Amino acid sequence: MTFAVKGWCPGALRPMESGDGLIVRVRPWNSALTPAQARAIADGARRHGNGLIDLTRRANLQLRGVSPATLAPLQEALDRAGLLDRDPEAEALRNVMVGPFAGTAARTLATRLTEAIVANTGLKGLPPKFAWLVDDGAFPTLLDQRSDVALCLLADGVAVRAGRSWLGIVDRSQAVETALGLAIGRRPALAPLTVPPDCRRPPPGMAVPFGRLTWDQLCGVADLAETAGSSEVRLAPWRSLYIDGPMADAAALGLIVDPDDPLLRIDACPGAPACRSSTVDTRRDARRLADKGFAGTVHLSGCAKGCARSTAADLVLVGMDGRYGVVRNGTPHDPVLYTMTPDEL
């Protein structure tokens, strides 16, 4: 069996090999799961992987430790839960992130956009990481996230953005067609957008330390959702989960509900031994740093790729042959000032 080469975005139909087995990425529609779907993913991680699930910066989930022998039964379980695409090409194109506080109208717009993307054969030549974004102007929280094409639902239409530039506003009935046109290089004639929508700071949810969930934690979140009468669990790219209802009980599951928790200021990739590119145990060392009370933002990266965080951090520690290279106010791609051992942190 052949799997995707390293460096590609994995999927459920095209997994990626890693140090702890295959990575199987699930892309929930509208960045949300029903409680039943959340349990299906948790059960799949328990039965067919190593029980660990990562939240990604695109509001997706990754099941880890899947083997070639357990991949097919896992895919069958995901298919029964409505979480599998018809083919790897459709799965790759369906890279649409939706704001966790988007209302019904914005989610309907996102569904229409996603269906149109999957159905449009002219989009198959897009780059593998071409990114779409849909948010709601009533409470936008995703507009600081990277996207190639973004739509933000407003009271008088839909604001349209290409890259970082807001181009104008379009009627809701034309928004999907406009977005698809932008993706293939057609620049539309739009009404001017007087005041571009601003991104708001999201309220605290159920934050997942370093984006790593266990299967039983995800089951616990599904239980909280059902107890609260919430129809879905919404995923956010800052590696948090939201339900419509009380979330304080998530602390008993090991999730973070305190907005001042120092772990929220630290990003860390899986590190060694889970990732073959890393020679340092980033998440073990990240917890040690959190206990020491470092005041700024920290990024621990097992290698120079910087998978856990794309923006600059006050302190960056880059894995280098069992040591950490130190970068101040930058990213893992910046010059290293000096190196230290993990014990010296």
Q: Is the pLDDT of residue 113 over 70?
A: yes
Cβ–Cβ under 8 Å, residues 170 and 158: yes
pLDDT band of 12, cuts 50, 70, 90 = very high
Q: Per-residue pLDDT averaged across 191-212, rounded?
A: 94
What pLDDT does residue 290 have?
87
What pLDDT does residue 44 have?
98
- Residue 109 has φ and ψ, to the nearest 5°, of -60, -45
What pLDDT does residue 8 have?
59
Q: Per-residue pLDDT averaged across 228-255, rounded?
A: 97
Place of tokens 């008088």: 156
What pLDDT does residue 5 have?
35
Q: Is the pLDDT of residue 26 over 70?
A: yes
What pLDDT does residue 181 have?
96
CA-wise closest residue to 129 among 146, 112, 107: 146
| CA gyration radius, the chain | 20
Give ranges for CATH 3.90.480.10 in the chain. Answer: 16-89+202-253
What pLDDT does residue 2 have?
35
Helix H or strand E segment including 326: strand 323-330
Helix H or strand E segment including 338: strand 338-340
- The CATH superfamily assigned to 262-344 is Sulfite Reductase Hemoprotein, domain 1 (3.30.413.10)
Q: Is the pLDDT of residue 124 over 60?
A: yes
Q: Is the pLDDT of residue 295 over 90?
A: no
Q: Rounded distance, CA 36 to CA 231, Å?
A: 10
Q: Is the pLDDT of residue 3 over 80?
A: no
Q: Per-residue pLDDT averaged across 266-291, rounded?
A: 92
Q: Is the pLDDT of residue 250 over 70?
A: yes
The mean pLDDT of the chain is 94
Q: Is the pLDDT of residue 90 over 90?
A: yes
What pLDDT does residue 257 have?
96
What pLDDT does residue 280 have?
96
Cβ–Cβ under 8 Å, residues 155 and 137: yes
Pairing between strand 61-66 and 52-55?
antiparallel
Q: Per-residue pLDDT averaged across 2-31, rounded?
A: 82
Dihedral sign from CA coordinates of 112, 115, 121, 123: positive
Share of the chain above pLDDT 90, in %: 89
Digit-coded pLDDT (tens) for 164-197: 999 999 999 999 999 999 999 998 889 999 999 9
Q: Rounded distance, CA 114 to CA 329, Å?
A: 37
pTM for the model: 0.91
CA-wise closest residue to 12 among 23, 271, 151, 193: 23
Digit-coded pLDDT (tens) for 296-317: 899 999 999 998 998 899 999 9
User: For the sheet containing 96-98, what is the strand order?
Assistant: 96-98, 132-136, 149-154, 157-162, 165-170
Q: Rounded distance, CA 213 to CA 58, Å?
A: 16
CA 114 to chain CA centroid, nearest Å: 17
Q: Per-residue pLDDT averaged across 192-211, rounded?
A: 94
Q: Per-residue pLDDT averaged across 288-297, rounded?
A: 86
Digit-coded pLDDT (tens) for 135-170: 999 999 999 999 999 999 999 999 999 999 999 999
Determine the residue type at 195.
V
Give ranges for CATH 3.30.413.10 in the chain. Answer: 262-344
CATH number for the domain whose boundaries are 16-89+202-253: 3.90.480.10
Cβ–Cβ under 8 Å, residues 9 and 21: no
DSSP symbol at 9: P
